[in-house]
A and B are shown apart, each in its own frame.
Chain A
Amino acid sequence: MSETVKNKIEEGSGTGPDSNTDKKSDVKIVAFLCNWCSYAGADAAGTSRLRQPENIRIIRLPCSGRVNPLFIIKAFNQGADGVLVSGCHPNDCHYSEGNFYARRRLEFLKEYLPFIGIDKRRFAYQWVSASEAQKWQNVVINFVKRIEDVQAK
């Protein structure tokens, strides 16, 4: 595919802010998404052509409660620059209480990370429902930007 055609396709697609496509950063972010909400939300963001940075690698899980804090540590160990966990809003869990347990574990981990030398800002957990494609786009853009800021220092 020629360069001009490629550019045209990129220009034509998407309605989101274009600033992210100008400079490509090489930060790698692992995202653990709940199958029932955030994964569907991210999918909806894609189908409705909301442009997002390409730094995120998504791993689909049945529930945010499935996230073992060790997943996150392992991701950092293997070279991830940031880790994002996203699940259903509290009280909306498909399994009724998985995200409540997740919230406790993830908040603990978040407080613990700086003590072992990992910047707190490199990790975030969010609640994004299946209908919140716009929110997902914002979360991704802001999180990638935050990781880039941390990296730049």
Chain B
Amino acid sequence: MTIENKLKEKIDEIMGDLELLVGYSPSALPLKVNPAFIEKKEETGSLVFNKMCINNLASYIYDLSKSVKGTIGIVLKPCDTRSIIQLASEELIDLKKIKMIVPGCSGVLDYKKIQKHVGGEKIISCKLDGESLAIETISQKHELKAGDFYADKCYWCQVHDNPAHFDEFIENDQKLDIEPREKYADIDAIEGKSIDEIMQYWDEQFSNCIRCYACRNICPLEICRDRCITNLDEPYWQSQRINTEEGKFFQLIRVLHLAGRCTECGECERACPRDIPLSKLMKKSAQITEKLFEYKTGEEPDKKPPFLTFKDVEKNIKEENLS
């Protein structure tokens, strides 16, 4: 029995207790899936769960938990549960109201990587059979190996078959079978450059930013909504001009807002229409919080996030003395 069928069976079983179920449904576009919001038991047949389910459905949960009175069921990949746990640790959502339905994950494909590989041509159809991926574009057919096109986070995933927190866990017979990669390899590559080269690298990247705010809007943890400081007149933090400096400043607002909170789901980078490597910015901040405060985001619902608390003596902080 496929994981999709097992998932549907489980959902049918518990659907009676739920007011709303958030899951994945098929999309008209190849390589993509849509979010589905299901209220009636009869509609669960349209649910899917496969390697295209890269979206993090936790992005919807903050707003839904405000508007839905009853229990919300939500289909989450094991890595996505971290976003929910993080929101709960900040007391932004109530875990009792949420039922996390977690199917085991065998990795998700990053359609942006595939799109890039086929030269940006429109993809008409795709077929995934085990590890072989057949892609048909308007001009030609490609036979690809799925192993090269997983989302970045899959290559260093630790939780694909053992999520720390869940309400329902569904074992997946198909295991994540890809060559693991070093999580911070791309960070180290940037840090290996000289300080001027780093500045230049980011200037090039941020010159692409059109401040569409897609990264902000999709983020499961950026729940500031209309109170985002980029929208304020007083203080006037950010001008409307679109240029490198403003793009950089906007991204640093995001970095600082998400410091010690980001669960590295990679949604910002996926949503970015200009392919700015936003998850690198987030990874670096995760690396620092891990080092300084020994805090891993999205794993401990009862622990306070590092910037909402302090210790008298910080053993990992070495203060410098200029006098």
Flag whether A18 is at the interface (Cβ < 8 A): no
Flag whether A57 is at the interface (Cβ < 8 A): no
A123 to chain B, nearest CB (A): 10
Interface flags for B283-323 (1: CB within 8 Å of A; 0: not) read 01100110111000000000000110011101001011111
Across the interface, B252 reaches (CB within 8 A) one of A73, A119, A146, namely A73
Contacts A70-B237, A70-B253, A70-B256 given; indicate if A104 touches B323 (C-beta within 8 A). Answer: no
Across the interface, B322 reaches (CB within 8 A) one of A105, A108, A139, namely A139
Interface size class of B (residues with CB under 8 A): 35 or more
A66 to chain B, nearest CB (A): 13
Flag whether B37 is at the interface (Cβ < 8 A): no
Across the interface, B323 reaches (CB within 8 A) one of A69, A115, A142, namely A142
CB neighbours of A125 from chain B (8 A): 319
Q: How would you classify the secondary structure of chain A's contact residues: helix, strand, loop or mixed?
A: helix
Q: How far is the CA of A111 from the CA of B316 in the complex (A)?
A: 12
Q: Are B307 and A105 in contact (CB under 8 A)?
A: yes
Q: How would you classify the secondary structure of chain B's contact residues: helix, strand, loop or mixed?
A: helix
Q: How far is the CA of A74 from the CA of B235 in the complex (A)?
A: 12
Flag whether A11 is at the interface (Cβ < 8 A): no
Flag whether A28 is at the interface (Cβ < 8 A): no
Flag whether A21 is at the interface (Cβ < 8 A): no
Q: How far is the CA of A114 from the CA of B191 in the complex (A)?
A: 8
Contacts A116-B199, A116-B252 given; indicate if A101 touches B307 (C-beta within 8 A). Answer: yes
Q: How far is the CA of A73 from the CA of B256 in the complex (A)?
A: 10
Flag whether B278 is at the interface (Cβ < 8 A): no
Contacts A103-B317, A117-B196, A118-B199 given; indicate if A124 touches B322 (C-beta within 8 A). Answer: yes
Flag whether B248 is at the interface (Cβ < 8 A): yes
Q: Are A115 and B198 in contact (CB under 8 A)?
A: yes
Flag whether A36 is at the interface (Cβ < 8 A): no
A96 to chain B, nearest CB (A): 11
Q: Are B249 and A73 in contact (CB under 8 A)?
A: yes
CB neighbours of B307 from chain A (8 A): 101, 104-105, 108
Give 16 pairs: A residue, B residue, CB < 8 Å, sorted on A. A70-B256, A104-B317, A111-B288, A115-B190, A115-B281, A116-B198, A117-B196, A117-B199, A117-B200, A118-B199, A124-B322, A126-B323, A128-B323, A138-B322, A142-B322, A143-B322
Residues of A at the B interface (CB closer than 8 Å) are: 69-70, 73-74, 77, 90-91, 97, 100-101, 103-105, 107-109, 111-112, 114-119, 124-128, 135, 138-139, 142-143, 146
